[in-house]
Structure 1
Amino acid sequence: MLAQGGSMVLMALVMIVKPSTVAPEPGTPVVSLHSKPSAWVGLFLAGVYGGFVQAGVGFMLIAALAGGLRYDLVRANALKVVCTACFSLLALGIFIWYDLVLWVPGLILAVGCMIGAHYSVRFAIQASQATLKWLLFVMVVLACGAAMLDSVG
């Protein structure tokens, strides 16, 4: 839990001190992986973190995709969803193999996630980058608070 809380606090601080690091200004050109090798490092570290901890990896992927490769927040979020779906499906397969899946709560959660995704994608497509940037900041702060409460309780 310390890694999750630390990564969330770091991201919140970066968003306050230099918000364009995580959320590029509209019209900023996307950077290719070939021209920015440090983006490989960011994506690799987010992948390792996601494979090990998973909680909060979306924020790290957004930081790598929007901050490192300069994708706008809508595209960065779409790529984040693809990445998390890939390693979540792999993890699900392993949990199914070991018969560790609680199907009823999992399916209820999946339905809730699909409904939430439907409405949040519609909102994200229509919202301004500034609104998305502040919403991302609020979500990071809430995740920090949840991580701290979890570590205390």
Structure 2
Amino acid sequence: MEFWKPLLLFAAGVVSGWINVMAGGGSIISVPVMVFLGLPGPVANGTNRIGIIAQNVMAVWGFFRKGFSDFKLSASLAACASLGAFFGANAGVRLEGAWFERTLAMIMIGVLIISMTGFGQKRVSPEDKPKNLLLGHLLFVGAGFWGGFIQIGVGLIQLPILNRVMGLDLVRANMHKVFIALVFSFVSLAVFAAQVEIEWELGLALGLGYALGGWLGAHSAVSRGEGLIRKVFYLALVAMAVKLLFF
């Protein structure tokens, strides 16, 4: 293996992990990089889950160290998302070639539309209790399906559910988001590993980068709060639009 490939994936993982924890959409960097390195769509899609797991382990730990945790609610939402992820991954493992590229394009268009309609975010107080718990859990089955299917942009789906539907501030929403993604990513990786050849060595390099990015993202989210999260959210969406229009 050429030495620059793991280094490139490590760097992509750092950036992707930080963006994913702060808002979402970081996989729009890591997955195309793996496709550029010659990995087929399903292999890149599956290998990316190694990085997602590493990222979210560090992010959950980072939030916990800063005093942010609600494992009971996180676990129940993660169980619903994992159910959806199982079926989504079984669909995603068959996604390749032109359809893989078209799906990436559709994701970016959809996220851009969301950005033009307010992102599904609203300001709430950190003291507010979660609401609409049943609806939130049901919606996370769908979010998990998307996460299992392709992962890209799933954070941008989770945040509006946690913020607008369930009434959580963006810091606590991110706290739940990374735990939920950690759990359902194990389900997704198991499905992909059973059906395609995961690139474990490249995945390790990517995972190390994702872990560092996830740790940095958790600390940034807690220390800088909603203001920085919103800015990163906007930048992630603009980056997706640029990728769609010019590359």
TM-score category, normalised to shorter length:
0.7 to 0.9
2:152 matches 1:55: yes
Residue of structure 2 equivalent to 1:116? 213
* AA in 1 matched with 2:211: M
Seen in structure 2, the aligned counterparts of structure 1 residues 137 and 45 have a Cα distance that, compared at 3 Å, is: same
Q: Partners in 1 of 2:110 and 2:135 — Cα distance?
A: 18
- Check if 1:32 corresponds to 2:131: yes
Residues 131 and 165 of structure 2 are in contact (CA less than 8 Å); yes or no, is this contact kept in structure 1?
Answer: no
User: TM-score normalised to the size of structure 1?
Assistant: 0.79
Q: Which residue of 2 aligns with 1:6?
A: 109
* Unmatched segments (≥5 aa) in structure 2: 1-102
Higher relative contact order (CA 8 A, sep 6+): 2
- Judge conservation of contact 2:128–2:167 (CA < 8 Å) in 1: yes
**What is the SS of the residue equivalent to 1:101?**
coil
- Equivalent residue runs for 1:130-145 within 5 Å: 130-145=227-242
User: Partner of 1:128: helix, strand, or coil?
Assistant: helix
Structure 1 Cα separation of the partners of residues 106 and 235 of structure 2: 19
Map Cα deviations across residues 94-141 of structure 1 (whole Å, 9 max, x no partner).
232235110111000110000011111111111132222122121122
**Cα RMSD between the aligned structures?**
2.4
1:61 alignment partner, SS class? helix
Please say which of residues 90-99 and 120-129 is displaced more in the overlay.
90-99
Q: Distance in 2 between matches of 1:139 and 1:26?
A: 25
Q: Secondary structure at the match of 2:144?
A: helix
TM-score with structure 2 setting the length: 0.51
SS of the counterpart of 2:117? helix
2:222 to 108, 122, 125: 125
Q: 1:42 to 1:91 in 2, by over 3 A?
A: closer
How far apart in 2 are the matches of 1:86 and 1:124?
20
8 Å CA contact 1:58–1:80 kept in 2: the answer is yes
